[in-house]
Amino acid sequence: MKKTTKLKQLLQNKSTEFILEAHNGISAKIVEEAGFSGIWASGLTLSGSMGTRDCNEMSWSDILNIVWKMADCTSIPILLDGDTGYGDFNNARYIANKFEQVGVAGICFEDKLFPKRNSFAKGEEQELCSISEFCAKIKAIKDSQIDSDFCMIARTEAFITGGNTDSALDRANAYYEAGTDAILVHSCAKDASQIEDFMKSWHNKCPIVIIPTTYYTIPTEVLENMGISMIIWANHMLRVSIRAMQKAAATIYKGKNVREINDDIANVLEIFRLQNMDELYSAEKKYLGR
């Protein structure tokens, strides 16, 4: 089955699906091996892994070079965080096509202005683009996609910028009418009240995706009962790796050796396994006779 079809089915399933963030080839492979059905290629963690800020400091082509390797070494679909689309409808459709060509199964664009800034970085001070401008992006992407199963997800930042439920619904309804495959309703609240209010008035018009980074303590069954189609754990692979690397670096520096941490880290053979070195050994035997 095509990766695009897999992602579309995940969004349209009656049960709530879960996908996890990855930011390079090896983290993507780990996500797949853990059992997840899909990968979130996060703008925050892709830029963070390169040491740049989540403010469109990395170009879309920089991100393309990372994500195509993620797609190349995994068999589950990747949903890309495409920020705002790097410009108007023409930029958005061009970029969507390029990521589709390298194996991305779907792309998510948000309704803020370019250059965007991460939603946790003074989100209430950020501005949204007009509804008509964002609908033009949706229509352009859907008209120009190559594979009919390629998914475009419209992300509204209405709650992030201080809007109420009505403003979020106004935008979501417009995006639904414009043809989006799903809507990501983003909230940085400490509880799920904004999402709950939204869902009470949504009536399952199209799949709803959420990112419960700040309201992660809400029991999963509560979110499932609201009718959420997909939950994204959006930045946890990078966050856990940062903590592990900081601890390891400090321990090695202090002890001037690696004995204390050696039993807690992956050995080189595990890296080789994730890199699929066995395939190379087999190929060398076949083609080089060794």
Give the separation between CA 215 and CA 123, rounded to whole angstroms.
Answer: 16
Give the separation between CA 65 and CA 42, rounded to whole angstroms.
Answer: 14
Residue of 129, 15, 50 whose CA lies nearest to 83: 129
Q: What is the 3-state secondary structure (H, E, C) of 185-249?
A: ECCCCCCCHHHHHHHHHHCCCCCEEECCCCCCCCCHHHHHHHCCCEEEECCHHHHHHHHHHHHHH
Active-site residue, from 54, 81, 83, 111: 54
Residue of 34, 19, 42, 39 whose CA lies nearest to 238: 42
Strands in the chain per DSSP E: 17-22, 39-41, 78-81, 106-110, 151-156, 182-185, 208-210, 230-233
Do the Cβ atoms of 181 and 206 come closer than 8 Å? yes
Do the Cβ atoms of 208 and 194 come closer than 8 Å? no
| Main-chain dihedrals φ then ψ at residue 17, nearest 5 degrees | -105, 155
Residues 6+ apart with CB under 8 A from 180: 138, 142, 152, 153, 154, 206
Question: 143 an active-site residue?
Answer: no
- 155's tokens: 């992300």
- 147's tokens: 């594979």
- Catalytic positions are 54
